[in-house]
Amino acid sequence: MSESGREFVLVAEDRASAFATATIVDRVIAERGPEWLRDLWDVSQRHVHRTWRGLRNDPESHELLGIGAFTKKANAKLRRGITTLAPGRKGRAVEVAKFFAALDEAKEAPSLAVFACDLDGDAPDHALAEWSDRTGRLAARSTLYVLALAQPEFEAWFVAGFCSTNADEAAKHAAVCAQLHRDPCEHPHELQSNTDGPRDAKVVLGALCGSRRVDDVRVRDCVEQTPLELLIHRGGRAGITRLVEQLDAVRLSLL
């Protein structure tokens, strides 16, 4: 490993998806590997070994990838090529195609490239097909690729990690379970997105934590402090298991 460490590129829809994905990537590397790797990737040391950045080389932020926003930021060559990147596909597959196109344009290949987006109830098939189609051609750049798809959205991953820490939180949890007739922490994939109704993942997160903002420490604790295996167990069908399986396959190659 070089003295400057590895560069991990993360393209995400928003701050919630960026924080949840980067946190779980770091935790999987640290907690599911051999003992020597855990010491190397300790919270106090991992910043020496890897740097997260967006496509713009800004270590303080992640690139946002709404379809409109991304094409405005992309150069003319990339915009002209969008229609040929994912013929016959739409939605997430097009976004994944643009992610790969932007990496093609990058002067230096990162060690790891991660694309994170909400599925909003859609099946992941098209996005995953685009992922498999493109990875072979780009493998020559020596970049490892990981896809994080949240079902229905990344706030569901935070809900999966919620564990009551006091009587007040236990009461809030019980109230939410009673309202939904289901424990959302055990079944986060059944929540909804973009509805503002009682089953909306953001609404549920706010009811449990008193906030839905990723800047709030209590919200961040749901993915930072909850035991990783519990997070995987609860959030497996919300997309966490698929992400962890990809990371398990490439973890040692990142060192």
Q: Where in the chain is the domain with CATH 3.40.50?
A: 6-151+239-254
- Give the contacts of 143 (CB within 8 A, at least 6 positions apart): 103, 109, 110, 111, 112, 113
Mean pLDDT of 18-22: 92
Helix (H) or strand (E) holding 84, with range, is: helix 76-85
As given in the structure block, the two tokens for residue 236 are 């497996």
Return the CATH number of the domain spanning residue range 6-151+239-254: 3.40.50
Query: Are the C-beta atoms of residues 58 and 18 closer than 8 Å to each other?
Result: no
Candidate from 112-126, 209-223, 228-242 with smallest mean pLDDT = 112-126
Helix (H) or strand (E) holding 23, with range, is: helix 15-31
pLDDT at 143: 78
pLDDT at 38: 78
Tell me what the pLDDT averaged over the chain comes to: 81
Calpha distance 158→30 (Å, rounded): 20
| Torsion angle, alpha carbons of 140, 133, 14, 110, to 10 | 0
Calpha distance 111→50 (Å, rounded): 9
Please give the residue that has the higher pLDDT: either 254 or 111. 111
Please give the residue that has the higher pLDDT: either 131 or 17. 17
Please give the residue that has the higher pLDDT: either 92 or 10. 10
For residue 125, the SS3 value is helix
pTM (predicted TM-score) = 0.85
pLDDT, tens digit (0-9, with 9 covering 90-100), for 106-138: 667 788 888 888 888 887 776 666 666 655 555
- Give the contacts of 198 (CB within 8 A, at least 6 positions apart): 179, 180, 204
Give the rounded percent of residues in the chain with a pLDDT score beyond 90.
Answer: 42
pLDDT at 77: 41
Nearest to 240 by CA among 141, 158, 144, 145: 158
How would residue 11 be classed by pLDDT, with cut points 50, 70 and 90? Answer: confident
